[in-house]
Amino acid sequence: MYPRVEINLEGILHNLHILRSKCEEQGSSLSLVTKVLGGRRQLVKYITEISGITSICDSRVYNLAYFYELDVEKWLIRSPMISEAETVVKYADVSLNSELKVIEALNETAIKHNKKHKIVLMCECGDLREGCYEEELLQIIEKCRTMDGIEIYGIGTNLSCLNEVLPSEENMAEFVRLVEKAEECYGSEFRYISGGASSSIPMLFSGKLDKKINHLRFGEAVFLGNIPVYDKPFENAEINNFILQAEVIELKEKPASPEIPRDDCTNLRKRAIVAVGKQDIDIKGLSVLDERIEIVAGSSDHVVLDVTNCGDEINVGSIISFRMNYNCLLNAMTSPYIKEHIV
């Protein structure tokens, strides 16, 4: 059945192994960010069991609910909504937080269920997405001391996801300074200093990540072998772990642009339409594996390809394979119209 995403689990495990070994060499642990798997429990179970990874992160608590039975620590890496506090306390062992009101809601819920919910407090270090500045961070820590349902499990930061601000020796030094202030205020060290995502790989590989950082959260680099922002693979990465396959539903010779009437056109192009579209994927994030084929344009349900350079190799019913960037892959893996096929 098409369209489908072919998934190469061995390639994912290969990337995970390299990154995990690098983290361990540098005294860090790695949590796998599973959001791209769209709650597919069997895949997460397989990857965690084979790799021995003991903690996973997801941005959606509903995905964590699918992983409830799996014997791994589950981190919610998008700040919880107050309205989902019940679900978060039930399905997430840990959540990243930056708002006192949310933490208070988690505290009340945890107390009601006779639980302690672990939180990682997020610091703002320059990317301007989630995270507190120093003053608020210390105020939250003070308040948390009085909360019986909350354990501060760590301090974290996130870069490169919103403004493509990369981890640097400067912003990581600022992060470590905030961590030390937080520990001073708390009176003891935190278990996890969670320093970043796949964009931290160049610093990790070159040994420049501060030794205080003992935890990283990796998604894109494990699944696609790619370092975000740099947009290049890390050394020895496997990059073809997810291939989108779509079927040709029309093949005709047409003018290269709509302004040229067909009968006047001396340069007709062979155009193939495949049955997948903007409703399923981000067309800008697609690239065809066969370099002779060009993507012309797309609409909600169609992607139009120029296959002139392929001779007679492409027909109606042919299957075309595409690589996807991470955003496109996220769309594909959460589209109900695209199935997965494990190789």
List the structure tokens of 267: 């340069």
Which of 218, 234, 242, 322 touches ligand PLP by CB under 6 A?
218
CB of 338 to ligand PLP, least distance (A): 20
Beta bridge partners of 321: 245
Neighbours of 117 (CB within 10 A): 26
CB-nearer residue toward ligand PLP: 163 or 309: 163
CB of 77 to ligand PLP, least distance (A): 4
The least CB distance from residue 111 to ligand PLP, in Å, is: 26
How many other C-beta atoms can be found within 10 angstroms of the C-beta atom of residue 332? 26
Smallest distance from the beta carbon of 214 to ligand PLP, in angstroms?
15
The answer to whether 35 is a known catalytic residue is yes
Q: How far is the CB of 161 from ligand PLP (least distance, A)?
A: 5
Which entry of 35, 74, 118, 212 is annotated as an active-site residue? 35
- Exactly one of 198, 214, 241, 245 binds ligand PLP (CB under 6 A); that residue is 198
Binding span for ligand PLP by CB under 6 A among 83-91, 213-221, 250-258, 297-305: 213-221
Residue nearest to ligand PLP (CB): 219
Are 73 and 94 in contact by the 8 Å Cβ rule? The answer is: yes
What is the Cα–Cα distance from 257 to 267, expressed in whole angstroms? 10
Query: For residues 107 and 199, which CB has a smaller minimum distance to ligand PLP in the complex?
Result: 199
Angle (CA) 210-13-89 rounded to 5° is 70
Structure tokens at 166: 């990369």
Positive or negative CA dihedral for 170, 174, 180, 181? positive
Distance in angstroms (rounded) separating the CA atoms of residues 132 and 158: 11
237 close to 225: Cβ distance less than 8 angstroms: yes
Q: Which of 149, 225, 228, 277 binds ligand PLP (CB under 6 A)?
A: 228
Which of 219, 225, 285, 298 forms a contact with ligand PLP (CB under 6 A)? 219
CA distance 11 to 13: 5
Per-residue contact string for residues 135-164; x = within reach of ligand PLP by CB under 6 A: -----------------------x--x---
Helix (H, G, I), strand (E, B) or coil at 24: helix
Q: Which residues, numbered 60-79, are part of the site for ligand PLP (CB under 6 A)?
A: 77
Strands (E), 135-276: 150-157, 192-194, 215-218, 226-227, 232-233, 242-254, 269-274
Rounded least distance, CB 194 to ligand PLP, Å: 8
Instruction: Show Cβ contacts of residue 260 under 8 Å, excluding neighbours closer than 6 positions.
Output: none
Residue carrying the six token digits 């690239």:
287
Nearer to ligand PLP by Cβ, of 217 and 323: the residue is: 217
Q: Is 242 in the site for ligand PLP (CB under 6 A)?
A: no
One character per residue 15-54, x = contact with ligand PLP (rule: CB under 6 A)? ------------------x-x-------------------
User: In the 8-state DSSP scheme, what is residue 239?
Assistant: -
What residues are annotated to the active site?
A: 35
Q: Which residues bind ligand PLP (CB under 6 A)?
A: 33, 35, 59, 77, 96, 158, 161, 197-199, 217-221, 228
